[in-house]
Amino acid sequence: METALIVLAAGQGTRMNSDLPKVLHPIAGAPLLVHALDAGAVLDPTRTVVVAGHGADAVTRAAQDHDAEITVVRQDEQLGTAHAVAQARDALAGFTGDAIVLYGDTPFISADTLTALAEARRSHDVVVLGFQAADPGRYGRLVTAGDTLERIVEFKDATEDERAITLCNSGVVAADCATLFSLIDAVGNDNASGEYYLTDIVGLARDRGLTAGFVTCPEAETLGINTRAELAAAEAAFQARARAEALENGVTLAAPDTVHFAHDTVVGRDTVIEPNVVFGPGVTVESGAHIRAFSHLEGCHVSRGAIVGPYARLRPGVELAEDVRIGNFVEIKNATLDAGAKVNHLSYIGDATVGEAANIGAGTVTCNYDGVFKHRTEIGARAFIGSDTMLVAPVKIGAEAMTASGSVITMDVPDGALAVGRARQEVKPGLARRLFDKLRAQKAKQQQKAAE
C-alpha cells in the first residue's frame, strides 16, 4: 500500500515571540520541519505534502531544499486542523493509498511508532496515535472501548469524567486518503473554539459504520514545540539521545554532556571525541578517528586514523584522508587533504588540495580570495611549506617542493624546488641600541611632563 504524508506547518507560533515561522526553528542544526519529514521517511512515502501558512515562502524553501519532490500548499486562514488537512486535497487528487497526518512542530515520533501506526491501518479505517500523559492538562482525550477508539473529545468540550482520562491525542492520524477527505468534508465547527477539528473524523467514521483504532507511544515522542523553553528542552532531549546512541555504538565520549551533535552526524566506532566538540550539519567521521577538545566540524568528512584539534575548525567541503593531522587553531575550508598530510598549528587552508604526506608549517595561509573570486591552491605530495608562508592563489606547489619560512609565494613552484619570496635581510650594527636609547629618552620626557 502506498503512503502519502500530510505535514501541517502553517502555524505562526506566537509564543515563540519570533519573526521566524515556528516550524523553522532548529534542533540539532535542522528545522523542526525537517525532523518531522525525516521521521515520516521511514514509511517511504510516495508523496509528501506540506501545508504552509505563516511564512509560507520560507517554509516552502526549507521543505524543498530538503526534498525537491515535496509539494507545498497554503492555508491562508487558520481555521483548524481539519481545514489545514483539506488544503492538501488537490495535491493528492487521484492518490489511492493511505494518508498519514504529521505535524511540523512535533519532531520526535519514532520509526517504530509510525510503523505500528501504518500496520494498524490494515485493521481499522481510521487510526489515531495516542499517549498516556503524566499530566493530561488541556490535551484532547481518547475515549476508547477495548481496542476500539469511539471518539476524541477536545479538553474545552470534555465533561469532568472525560477530562479524567489520561490517554491523550497526539493529533497524528492515518486513514485511506479518499476516506480521510470524505470525512473532513463532514466536519463542522460547532464547538467551543469555532474551529474545524481533525479529531471529529473519528466520531464521523463511527457514525458511518467505519472502524477506528489507536496505537500508543511514549509521551516524549509527541513533544510539540510551542515556546523557546520547549525548544531548549527538545534540543536537550535530542542531544541526550544522540550521545547515548554514540556510546552504544562504540564511540568514546570523554565528557558526553559537552559534545553537541547535529541531526545527521555519523561517527564510526572506536572514534574518540574529547570534551566541548561541536558537530554542525553534514559531518561523517570514520572509525578510529580522534577529535580533540574545543573543535568545531561542519559539512566535512574525516577518515580513519585522522586527528583533529584541539581548537580546530573544519568548514564545509573538507575531506580528510586517512591519518591526516589537523592541529590547534587550524581552520580548513573546501579543501582535500590526502593521506598523512599535516597542518599542525595556526594555519588557514581554504580552497586547496594538499598532497599525501605534505607538511604545512605554522602560520601558513592560502590567500584564496581576491575580493571578488575564490581561487585554488594546489600543494603536491610530500611538499614542505615553511612557517608563515603566504600562498597567493591561484598557485601550485609541486611534489617534494619547499617554501622558505616567511615567504609570499605568487608563482608556481616546480617539483623538488625551493621557493624564497621575502626581502633580503640587512643587519645595521648598533642601530637597535641607539633606537632604544632614543625611545626611552622620549618616554622619560613624556613622563616628566605629565608629572609637572
Tens digit of each residue's pLDDT (9 = 90 or more) over 156-185:
889 999 999 999 999 999 999 999 999 999
Predicted confidence band at 423 (pLDDT cuts at 50, 70, 90)?
A: confident
- For 238-276, b/e burial (b = at least 16 CB within 10 A) is bbeebbeebeeeebebeebebbbbbbbbebbeebebbeb
Give me the percent of the chain exceeding a pLDDT of 90. Answer: 91
CA dist., res. 442 & res. 448, Å (int)? 10
Q: From the candidates 35, 54, 296, 345, which is the catalytic residue?
A: 345
pLDDT tens sequence across 50-72: 999 999 999 999 999 999 999 99
Task: Report whether 80 contacts 196 (CB < 8 A).
Answer: yes
CA dist., res. 250 & res. 266, Å (int)? 12
pLDDT of residue 193: 81
pLDDT of residue 194: 85
CA dist., res. 326 & res. 307, Å (int)? 6
Least confident of 122-126, 169-173, 188-192, 201-205: 188-192
Q: Is 27 exposed, middle or buried (0-12, 13-18, 19+ CB in 10 A)?
A: buried
Least confident of 4-13, 187-196, 347-356, 426-435: 187-196
* Chain length of the chain: 452
**Helix intervals (H) in 215-297:** 228-248
pLDDT of residue 12: 81
Nearest to 36 by CA among 278, 233, 223: 223
Predicted confidence band at 360 (pLDDT cuts at 50, 70, 90)?
A: very high
Mean pLDDT over each residue of the chain, to the nearest integer = 95
pLDDT tens sequence across 95-148: 999 999 999 999 999 999 999 999 999 999 999 999 999 988 889 999 999 889
pLDDT of residue 227: 94
List of long-range contacts for 418-421, beta carbons under 8 Å, 24+ apart: none
234 pLDDT more than 90: yes
- Alpha-carbon dihedral sign for residues 409, 411, 415, 418: negative
Write down all domains in the chain, each with its CATH number in brackets.
3-222 (3.90.550.10), 228-419 (2.160.10.10)
pLDDT of residue 138: 87
The answer to whether the pTM exceeds 0.85 is yes
Mean pLDDT of 72-90: 94
CA dist., res. 383 & res. 419, Å (int)? 11
The three-state (H, E, C) secondary structure of 94-155, written as one string = CCCCEEEEEECCCCCCCHHHHHHHHHHCCCCCEEEEEEECCCCCCCCEEEEECCEEEEEECH
Task: Report whether 200 contacts 180 (CB < 8 A).
Answer: no
C-alpha cell belonging to residue 264: 545527521
CA dist., res. 347 & res. 362, Å (int)? 6
Nearest to 282 by CA among 249, 310, 319: 319
**Per DSSP, what are the bridge partners of residue 129?**
215
pLDDT of residue 387: 97
The reply to whether 345 belongs to the active site is: yes
For residue 109, the one-letter residue type is I
Least confident of 141-155, 230-244, 270-284: 141-155
pLDDT of residue 34: 97
Residue 139 half-sphere exposure, CB side, CA atoms within 13 Å? 24
388 pLDDT more than 90: yes
C-alpha cell belonging to residue 362: 605554522
Mean pLDDT of 186-205: 89
Q: What is the DSSP letter of 76?
A: S
Q: What are phi and psi of 56, to 5 degrees?
A: -60, -35
192 pLDDT more than 80: no
